[in-house]
């Protein structure tokens, strides 16, 4: 890269800049850990014929949570990477060293640099994960429905606070919003309680991971149930009240088997329940 008054600088390019695009601005910045970055802003010439059509057949509901970062209405489950938790030990260790050092000493400066590098690595990991996941959803679906969460209220709950901050859904939703064709926030009310098939209320606390409807016999993961509810609520807004066919084709027995397998893996007890009047174990 050639910068005026500085000259030529060796750089690592992350994306090619095509010759048709004119560079409008370059922002050069230095991170706390001492790395230099250049952000190049371009005018992109796009063909007028690329006007995109939005298809409601390609709609998905996604539920964000602590155990699964995202669970969607097509049954894709993305576990929470909890980057901060994994990096917490080295973070605490270096933090302790910093506080033990004499003020303004060379050692202290050295440890502060290390601390900043760890913080930077956590941010990078989180951003990388969120960018990859949001790109997958933006490329696969036209319409994405999410819950309108009151995150500030949830962070006030201290037990959950760290996990919530760590998951940082709001920054994920921001990335999703600018990448996808249409992102709609639906009211979060009762999405975990309602049965996604018959609509009856199945109250559950945070510890209960599986949705069991005693009215229609539906058994599935609570987050999957919530994601279907979010999709249904979203489609209702657009008067597209019909659920995609696939969601109705899943038989209760199949779900039961799947659920049992999951329970075995998690070591929770297998509960007998009825499907279409027959008792299934
Ligand atoms: Zn039900």
Q: What is the pLDDT of residues 87-130, one digit of tens each?
A: 778 888 888 988 898 888 899 999 999 988 988 888 888 889 99
List, in sequence order, every residue forming a beta bridge with 62; answer none if it has no partner. 72, 146
Ligand 1 mean position, distance from CA 207 (Å): 20
* Residue with tokens 């991170």, as numbered in its chain: 31
Mean pLDDT for the chain overall? 79
pLDDT of residue 254: 42
List, in sequence order, every residue forming a beta bridge with 71; answer none if it has no partner. 63, 77
Query: Which one has a higher pLDDT value, 266 or 78?
Result: 78
Global confidence as pTM: 0.70
Residue 278's pLDDT band (cuts 50, 70, 90): very low
Please pick, among 147, 166, 194, 221, the residue that the annotation labels catalytic. Answer: 147
Residue 272's pLDDT band (cuts 50, 70, 90): very low
Ligand 1 mean position, distance from CA 71 (Å): 20
Q: What's the structural domain count of the chain? A: 2
Indicate the range of 11-15, 193-197, 251-255 predicted with least confidence: 251-255
Please pick, among 72, 194, 221, 223, the residue that the annotation labels catalytic. Answer: 223
Range of 272's domain?
Answer: 52-79+141-280
Residues 208 and 266 both lie in one domain:
yes
pLDDT of residue 226: 93
Residues 184 and 240 both lie in one domain:
yes
Secondary structure class of 25 (helix, strand, coil)? strand
Residues 205 and 275 both lie in one domain:
yes
Q: Is 19 noted as a catalytic residue in this protein?
A: no
Residues 30 and 56 both lie in one domain:
no
Residue 223 has pLDDT above 60, yes or no: yes
Task: Return the number of other C-beta atoms located less than 10 Å from residue 103's C-beta.
Answer: 5
């Amino acid at each position: 890269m050639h910068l005026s008054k500085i000259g030529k600088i060796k750089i690592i390019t992350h994306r090619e800049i095509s010759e048709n695009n004119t560079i409008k601005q370059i922002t050069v910045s230095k991170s706390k850990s001492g790395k230099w970055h250049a952000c190049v802003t371009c005018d992109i010439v796009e063909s007028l014929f690329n006007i995109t059509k939005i298809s409601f057949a390609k709609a998905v509901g996604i539920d964000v949570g602590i155990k699964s970062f995202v669970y969607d209405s097509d049954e894709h489950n993305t576990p929470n990477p909890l980057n901060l938790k994994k990096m917490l030990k080295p973070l605490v260790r270096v933090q302790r060293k910093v506080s033990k050092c004499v003020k303004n000493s060379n050692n202290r400066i050295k440890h502060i640099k290390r601390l900043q590098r760890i913080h930077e690595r956590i941010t990078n990991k989180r951003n990388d994960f969120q960018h990859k996941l949001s790109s997958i959803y933006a490329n696969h679906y036209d319409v994405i429905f999410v819950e309108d969460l009151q995150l500030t209220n949830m962070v006030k709950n201290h037990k959950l606070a760290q996990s919530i901050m760590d998951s940082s859904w709001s920054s994920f939703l921001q990335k999703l919003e600018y990448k996808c064709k249409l992102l709609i926030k639906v009211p979060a009310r009762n999405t975990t309680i309602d049965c996604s098939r018959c609509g009856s209320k199945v109250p559950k606390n945070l510890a209960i991971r599986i949705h069991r409807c005693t009215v229609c016999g539906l058994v599935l993961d609570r987050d999957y149930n919530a994601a279907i509810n979010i999709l249904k609520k979203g489609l209702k807004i657009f008067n597209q009240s019909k659920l995609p066919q696939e969601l109705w084709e899943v038989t209760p027995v199949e779900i039961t088997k799947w659920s049992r397998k999951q329970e075995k893996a998690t070591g929770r007890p297998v509960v007998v329940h009825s499907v279409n009047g027959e008792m299934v174990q």
